[in-house]
C-alpha cells in the first residue's frame, strides 16, 4: 500500500469520526450528509483496494459512544447500521425474486423499547450500537408512545424518535438568536431525547415511529406472526404504536414504489434521508446472517441527489435582527428536482472557508433530501471570497464568533438598522399588529429618514406626510393605504402586542398563553416573577427569564406605555361560546373557501377554546380538509389513527353552528 493511500485513509478516518462525534454526541454538524457520504464511500473503496482497515475506521465502528450523563446499558444484540445503495436498479436486484417491504428511512434517534406485562419498562438509545443510554423517563413523555398495551408478554421493538418539520419550525421560531437556532430536526430531536429533565422533552413534541419488532414472547414462546414482516407491523399498530409508512413490493413494482416515495417526500412532515428495503419473509432474512457491520435482511436506499454545475456570481451577506450576518450564495440558474434554483445558504463563515468559495468558481449544487438547496462541492476552489470587515447595513465593524465549533459573522452594533428593520417587520407582521402593506423596504425608508425609532412612532406618521408621499414609487394613494392600515391596527389584542414586542423566545402561541394566564392584563405581566411565568404550560425557565428581563428594562416599559396609549386593546369576554371548543384539537390542511387563510380559522378555533396543531396524532379531534379523499400524508395518518377527516363546511355545521 502506497504512503499516499495510507495517509488518505488515516485522514478520512479522522474526518469521518470527528463528524460522527459532532453529529451523535454534540448534536451539531461540521459537514453535510452529502459530503459525509462522499468521504465514507471513498474510504470504503480504499479499504477494498488495499485490503486494510485502519483502527477506528467508521466502516467497522458503528456510531459514536454515548455521553456519560445518562445511565448506560448494553444491547442484547448489536444494533448494526445498514448497507446502502443509491441505485434504484441495484435495490430491485437485491430482492432476488423475494417479496419485500419498502419504508421511510427516518432521520432522528433510534430507540429500543421494552414492554413487560403490558407496561413500558425500558427505553434505550442506539448509542454506539453496543451500548446505549437509558432514557425511560423521557420516552414516557413522547407524544405518541403507549405506556400500556394489550399484549401482556415481553415485547421489544425498535423505532425512531423524531421531531416533525412543523414542530422544528415552531421551536426555532421561539428562539430569538439566529446563532442559537437548531440546524435541523435531527439535532433538535437528539438533544430533546437525551435531556436530563424530561419536562424539556415533553415540550418538544418528540414522536416515536416504530420500524422493527425485535421479539414478542408470550408464555415462554414466540408470538406467532406467521413469519411475516407485514404481520409484525400490523401487530405493532394493534398495540397502539405509530408504525413507519410502508409499501409491499416485489421486483415488478418496486420502481413504482420508489417513485411514490420520491414525490411524497416533498410534503412529508417527518425528516427522512432515504428508504429501507427489508425482506417480507422474516426467517429468510435472518438466515442470510450478517457481515461485521451490516445485517443482510435489509438495505438502505439513499436518494441519489440530483446535482447541477453552475457559476458562483456573488456571496450576499444578509444581516438579521439578532446581529448574525448570514452568507448566501448567488449563482447562475439551474434546474433541480423540477424547480429553478439560484440561491443557497452557506450557513456560516466556516463553510465559506471550508469550500474555498470564490466569485466565478464552478460549483456543484444539490437539494439536501430533495428540498433544501446547498453547495456540494467547489470545482475551482479559488477562495477569493472576502469575509466582510464591516456590517453591510450599518457599516460598523463585524466580529467573528465561534458557536458550536462553527464560526459566524456578527454585527455588534445595537443601533444597526437591520436589527431595527427586522424588529419592526415582526411588529407589523400578520400574527402581531397585522399592518398590511408595510414591507421591509418601506420600513427601511422610514427608519433611514428618522421617522420611526420605536413602535409608537408608526402611529404618528401623519406629520411626515409630505416627505413620505415624495418617496420613490410611493405617492398619495400608497400613503393613504398605509395610514389606513396603521389606523386599522390600533384595535388589537394583548397577545398580538406581546408577540410584536419581539421578546426573545416568545412566539405568537406563547404570547396567547401568557396573556390568558394573567387575565389579559399587561400590568400583571410586567410585574410577573420568573418562577410564576415558568409554571405556565410550554413556558420554561429561559422564556420566563427573558420576559422578566425585558420588563426590568425601564426603557422598554416606557416605550411600551407610549405604544399602548396609541392602541385600543380588546380584552376577551369569557362566555359559554368562548369555551365551545375547549378540549378539542384540530389540524387544518389544504385550500379554504370560507376563511381567508389558515390563520383566520386558527384564530376562530382558539377564540372558542380549541387548539390547532400542525400534525395529526391520536389526540386530534378531526382533520379539516376540503379534499377529504386526497392521498396526502395528513389524510393517511388520520385514517390510520381513526381520526375523522371533515370538510370546512362540515366543521362549521358540526362545531360552530350547533
Residues with catalytic annotation? 105
616: its cell numbers: 395529526
User: What distance in Å separates the CA atoms of residue 150 and residue 240, rounded to the nearest whole number?
Assistant: 9
Report the half-sphere exposure of 81 (CA within 13 A, side-chain side): 13
User: What distance in Å separates the CA atoms of residue 443 and residue 421, rounded to the nearest whole number?
Assistant: 6
Q: How far is CA 145 from CA 161, 421, 644, in A?
A: 10, 43, 21
Contact yes or no for 313/384 (Cβ under 8 A): no
User: What distance in Å separates the CA atoms of residue 62 and residue 24, rounded to the nearest whole number?
Assistant: 11
Number of H helices, E strands in the chain: 24, 25
User: What distance in Å separates the CA atoms of residue 225 and residue 230, rounded to the nearest whole number?
Assistant: 9
Please provide the distance, in angstroms rounded to a whole number, between the alpha carbons at the two ends of the chain. 80
Q: Cα 606 to the chain's mean position, in Å?
A: 24
User: What distance in Å separates the CA atoms of residue 208 and residue 90, rounded to the nearest whole number?
Assistant: 30
Neighbours of 307 (CB within 10 A): 17
User: What distance in Å separates the CA atoms of residue 364 and residue 298, rounded to the nearest whole number?
Assistant: 32
Q: Checking phi first, is residue 6 left (phi over 0); if not, alpha (psi -120 to 50) or beta?
A: alpha
In 443-503 the beta strands, taken as DSSP E runs, fall at 491-493
Neighbours of 106 (CB within 10 A): 25
Burial of 287 (0-12, 13-18, 19+ CB in 10 A): exposed
SS3 annotation, 368-380:
ECCCEEEEEEECC
Helix (H) or strand (E) holding 509: helix 508-517
Size of the chain in residues = 658
The residues, ordered by sequence, that sit 6+ positions from 330 with a Cβ below 8 Å of its Cβ are 312, 313, 314, 315, 316, 342, 343
Evaluated on CA atoms 257, 262, 264, 269, the torsion sign reads: positive
User: What distance in Å separates the CA atoms of residue 387 and residue 133, rounded to the nearest whole number?
Assistant: 42
The residues, ordered by sequence, that sit 6+ positions from 112 with a Cβ below 8 Å of its Cβ are 75, 79, 122, 123, 124, 125, 126, 132, 156, 157, 158, 214
User: What distance in Å separates the CA atoms of residue 538 and residue 509, rounded to the nearest whole number?
Assistant: 9
User: What distance in Å separates the CA atoms of residue 611 and residue 604, rounded to the nearest whole number?
Assistant: 10
Helix axes 33-50, 3-20, angle to 10 degrees: 140
Q: How far is CA 631 from CA 11, 122, 590, 627, 636, in A?
A: 47, 36, 12, 9, 6
Where are the alpha helices (H) located in 181-304, listed in sequence order?
185-193, 198-203, 229-238, 254-264, 282-287
Amino acid at each position: 500500500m502506497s504512503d499516499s493511500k495510507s495517509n488518505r485513509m488515516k485522514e478520512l478516518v479522522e474526518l469521518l469520526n470527528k463528524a460522527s462525534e459532532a453529529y451523535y454526541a454534540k448534536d451539531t454538524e461540521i459537514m453535510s450528509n452529502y459530503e459525509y457520504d462522499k468521504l465514507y464511500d471513498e474510504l470504503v473503496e480504499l479499504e477494498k483496494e488495499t485490503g486494510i482497515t485502519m483502527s477506528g475506521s467508521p466502516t467497522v465502528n458503528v456510531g459514536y459512544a454515548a455521553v456519560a450523563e445518562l445511565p448506560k446499558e448494553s444491547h442484547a444484540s448489536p444494533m448494526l447500521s445498514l448497507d446502502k445503495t443509491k441505485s434504484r436498479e441495484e435495490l430491485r436486484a437485491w430482492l432476488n425474486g423475494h417479496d419485500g417491504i419498502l419504508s421511510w428511512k427516518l432521520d432522528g434517534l433510534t430507540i429500543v423499547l421494552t414492554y413487560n406485562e403490558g407496561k413500558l419498562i425500558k427505553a434505550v438509545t442506539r448509542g454506539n450500537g453496543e451500548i446505549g443510554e437509558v432514557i425511560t423517563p423521557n420516552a414516557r413523555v413522547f407524544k405518541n408512545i403507549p405506556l400500556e398495551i394489550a399484549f401482556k408478554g415481553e415485547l421489544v421493538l425498535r423505532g425512531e424518535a423524531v421531531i416533525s418539520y412543523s414542530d422544528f419550525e415552531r421551536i426555532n421560531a421561539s428562539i430569538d438568536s439566529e446563532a442559537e437556532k437548531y440546524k435541523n430536526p435531527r439535532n433538535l430531536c437528539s438533544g430533546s431525547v437525551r435531556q436530563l429533565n424530561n419536562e424539556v422533552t415533553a415540550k418538544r413534541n418528540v414522536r416515536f415511529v416504530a420500524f422493527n419488532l425485535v421479539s414478542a414472547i408470550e408464555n415462554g414462546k414466540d408470538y406467532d406472526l406467521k413469519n411475516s414482516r407485514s404481520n409484525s407491523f400490523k401487530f405493532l399498530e394493534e398495540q397502539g404504536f405509530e408504525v413507519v409508512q410502508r409499501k409491499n413490493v416485489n421486483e415488478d413494482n418496486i420502481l413504482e414504489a420508489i417513485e411514490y416515495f420520491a414525490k411524497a417526500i416533498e410534503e412529508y412532515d417527518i425528516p427522512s434521508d432515504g428508504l429501507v428495503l427489508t425482506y417480507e419473509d422474516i426467517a429468510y432474512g435472518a438466515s442470510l446472517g450478517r457481515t461485521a457491520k451490516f445485517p443482510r435482511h435489509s438495505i438502505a436506499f439513499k436518494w441519489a441527489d440530483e446535482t447541477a454545475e453552475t457559476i458562483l456570481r456573488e456571496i450576499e451577506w444578509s444581516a438579521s435582527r439578532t446581529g448574525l450576518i448570514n452568507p448566501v450564495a448567488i449563482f447562475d440558474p439551474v434546474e433541480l428536482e423540477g424547480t429553478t434554483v439560484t440561491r443557497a445558504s452557506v450557513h456560516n463563515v466556516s463553510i465559506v472557508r471550508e469550500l474555498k468559495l470564490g466569485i466565478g468558481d464552478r460549483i456543484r449544487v444539490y437539494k439536501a433530501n430533495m428540498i433544501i438547496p446547498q453547495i456540494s462541492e467547489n470545482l475551482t476552489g479559488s477562495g477569493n471570497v472576502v469575509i466582510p470587515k464591516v456590517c453591510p447595513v450599518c457599516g460598523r465593524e463585524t466580529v467573528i464568533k465561534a458557536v458550536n465549533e462553527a464560526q459566524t459573522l456578527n454585527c455588534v452594533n445595537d443601533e444597526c438598522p437591520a436589527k431595527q428593520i427586522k424588529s419592526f417587520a415582526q411588529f407589523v407582521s400578520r400574527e402581531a399588529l397585522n399592518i398590511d402593506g408595510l414591507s421591509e423596504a418601506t420600513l427601511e425608508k422610514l427608519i433611514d429618514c428618522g421617522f420611526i425609532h420605536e413602535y409608537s412612532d408608526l402611529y404618528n406618521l401623519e406629520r411626515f406626510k409630505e416627505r413620505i408621499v415624495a418617496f420613490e414609487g410611493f405617492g398619495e394613494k400608497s400613503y393613504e393605504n398605509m395610514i389606513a392600515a396603521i389606523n386599522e391596527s390600533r384595535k388589537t389584542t394583548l397577545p398580538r402586542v406581546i408577540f410584536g414586542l419581539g421578546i426573545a423566545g416568545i412566539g405568537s402561541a406563547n404570547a396567547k398563553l401568557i396573556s390568558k394566564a394573567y387575565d389579559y392584563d399587561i400590568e400583571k405581566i410586567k410585574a410577573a416573577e420568573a418562577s410564576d411565568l415558568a409554571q405556565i404550560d410550554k413556558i420554561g425557565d429561559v422564556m420566563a427569564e427573558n420576559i422578566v428581563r425585558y420588563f426590568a428594562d425601564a426603557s422598554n416599559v416606557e416605550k411600551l406605555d407610549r405604544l399602548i396609549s396609541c392602541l385600543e386593546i380588546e380584552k376577551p369576554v369569557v362566555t359559554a361560546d368562548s369555551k365551545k371548543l375547549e378540549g378539542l384539537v384540530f389540524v387544518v390542511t389544504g385550500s379554504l373557501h370560507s376563511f381567508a387563510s389558515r390563520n383566520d380559522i386558527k384564530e376562530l378555533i382558539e377564540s372558542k377554546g380549541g387548539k390547532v396543531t400542525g400534525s395529526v396524532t391520536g389526540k386530534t379531534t378531526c382533520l379539516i380538509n376540503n379534499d377529504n379523499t386526497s392521498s396526502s400524508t395528513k389524510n393517511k395518518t388520520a385514517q390510520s389513527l381513526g381520526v375523522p377527516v371533515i370538510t370546512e363546511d362540515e366543521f362549521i355545521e358540526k362545531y360552530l353552528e350547533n
